[in-house]
Amino acid sequence: MMYLLRLRLSWWWLRYLRAPALALLFGVVVALVLAEVTIRALPAETLKVRLSNVLFTCYQPELPERYIYAHALAINQAVHQPKLRTECSYNGYFWQHQSDAFGWRNPETWEKVDVVLLGDSMIYGHGVEEHQTVAHFLRQELGARVANEGMMGNCPVDYLAIYRNFSLPLRPKATVMFVYFNDLDDLHGLPPEPLDRFADTGELPQARRYRREDLLSTLTYPDVPLWQRWLGRSRLYSLLRYYVPALRAAPRLRTADPGALRPLEGPDPAADLASVDFRGDPEAWFGPELGVTRRIIATMARSAAAQDSVLVVAYLPGQRTAELLEDVRIPAYLAQFAEEAGVPFFWAGGEIGNPAGTGPLPGTRLAHDGHLTELGHRLLAHDLARFLRRHVPSLRR
């Protein structure tokens, strides 16, 4: 009897405490939701550098649930993680990153395409959604499949590795390699010894060719559980993670042994370039970086010709008037190298350039960091579509 009385009293106290506990829980949930909404409602100027670049970037491994990169050790090349969807942010701009089965920013996975776009963050679509990129608008202009293989921070050495290992398996009718004004600076920042060796002999890890599936099986990247990826989409969680060290536990890396990879057998269409002196001319201005770029264009042109495909070398001008000098010198060299290799050269400053010659057309660049806006991507696609129809007969419809 006493036992039943004690049990009834215990349940009475639970009922008595349940209402305050539920009220407290409800208050905590409301506070968390309001905090999340408040952070998301902050204007871009507030998020610029102060928050978004530190807390919400998908470019840094310190936020592994957002991190979009992987590394292909065999070709010493960064690529995107395959089949990944996450939120990206930089300089106050937010966008959704979604990669296909091969790791590139495309709405679906294609085994065969008509056009491949190679480039850096400008072509990837930094700061805009996928349906606002040049690849999306070019699909509409040409009525064709266009694969976007652009990636932040890329330069000609990266284009070579991606083209020979990821672009060619798609058997495109044309591939457009966009060179941006700072690409030679990026080359200048690489170790000079392997670049010198490549200019002399063509030997470079990024110049090797492997089966795409083999490379994908050996990618190194953070192995993040699905629940952590979903939690990482919360900006409040990212903020707490920044201030609470216990939440920064790094996930284990998903790795495989690249030593088991074997390069593709058969003759390399670029092998007969070994006798060409790519360092003798030109030596002015930027020095060996131009010789490296010249060999890269020649190598990619031979690889394209072996598949009855067309390589297009394109130059995308800078976004500030201080870069106008580079917008004259770099494309002049690129046009010379393209002519030597027997491939077309495309000046990508047509519709997005200011007719007065004083920088980009207003409204075509993002205010905070100069990347292309939706309008800039649309105009570039329109200009490129006309060029491709003139120079690639199989794309004329």
In a domain, 255, yes or no: no
Asked if residues 160 and 296 have their Cβ atoms less than 8 Å apart, the reply is yes
Note whether 311 and 174 are same-domain residues.
yes
Note whether 35 and 113 are same-domain residues.
no
In the predicted model, is pLDDT for residue 5 greater than 80?
no
State the CB neighbour count (10 A cutoff) for residue 267.
Answer: 8
pLDDT tens-digit profile of 250-277?
788 887 777 778 888 888 888 878 778 7
In a domain, 193, yes or no: yes
Q: Which residues contact 229 (CB under 8 A, 6 or more apart)?
A: 65, 86
What does pLDDT average to over the chain?
85
The whole-angstrom separation of Cα 159 and Cα 157 is 5
Q: Which residues contact 188 (CB under 8 A, 6 or more apart)?
A: 286, 289
- Omega of the bond prior to 282 within 30 degrees of 0, cis? yes
Q: Token digits for 222?
A: 């953070």
The whole-angstrom separation of Cα 95 and Cα 129 is 5
In the predicted model, is pLDDT for residue 14 greater than 80?
no
In the predicted model, is pLDDT for residue 49 greater than 90?
no
In a domain, 253, yes or no: no
In the predicted model, is pLDDT for residue 132 greater than 70?
yes
In a domain, 46, yes or no: no
In a domain, 51, yes or no: no
| Number of domains the chain contains | 2
pLDDT tens-digit profile of 218-244?
999 888 888 888 888 888 888 888 788
35 or 133: which leads in pLDDT: 133
In the predicted model, is pLDDT for residue 378 greater than 70?
yes
In a domain, 238, yes or no: no
In the predicted model, is pLDDT for residue 155 greater than 60?
yes
In the predicted model, is pLDDT for residue 42 greater than 80?
no
pLDDT tens-digit profile of 181-196?
888 888 888 888 888 8
Range of the domain at 7: 2-41
In the predicted model, is pLDDT for residue 91 greater than 70?
yes
Note whether 37 and 131 are same-domain residues.
no
Note whether 388 and 304 are same-domain residues.
yes
Pairing type for strands 93-98 and 85-90 reads antiparallel
Note whether 21 and 101 are same-domain residues.
no
Give the rounded percent of residues in the chain with a pLDDT score beyond 70: 86
In the predicted model, is pLDDT for residue 60 greater than 90?
no
pTM: 0.88
Note whether 15 and 145 are same-domain residues.
no
In the predicted model, is pLDDT for residue 346 greater than 80?
yes
Note whether 23 and 150 are same-domain residues.
no
Q: Helix, strand, coil proportions of the chain in percent (round to 5)?
A: 50, 15, 40
In a domain, 117, yes or no: yes
pLDDT tens-digit profile of 305-333?
999 999 999 998 876 665 666 778 888 89
Note whether 216 and 114 are same-domain residues.
yes
Confidence label for 9 from pLDDT (cuts 50, 70 and 90): very low
Q: Token digits for 75?
A: 């070709």
Note whether 94 and 27 are same-domain residues.
no
DSSP, res 76: T
Note whether 19 and 131 are same-domain residues.
no
State the CB neighbour count (10 A cutoff) for residue 206.
Answer: 21
In a domain, 144, yes or no: yes
- Average pLDDT of 136-156? 95
- The CATH number assigned to the domain holding 142 equals 3.40.50.1110
Note whether 20 and 131 are same-domain residues.
no
Note whether 277 and 344 are same-domain residues.
yes
First to last CA, the chain: 91
- Average pLDDT of 242-249? 77
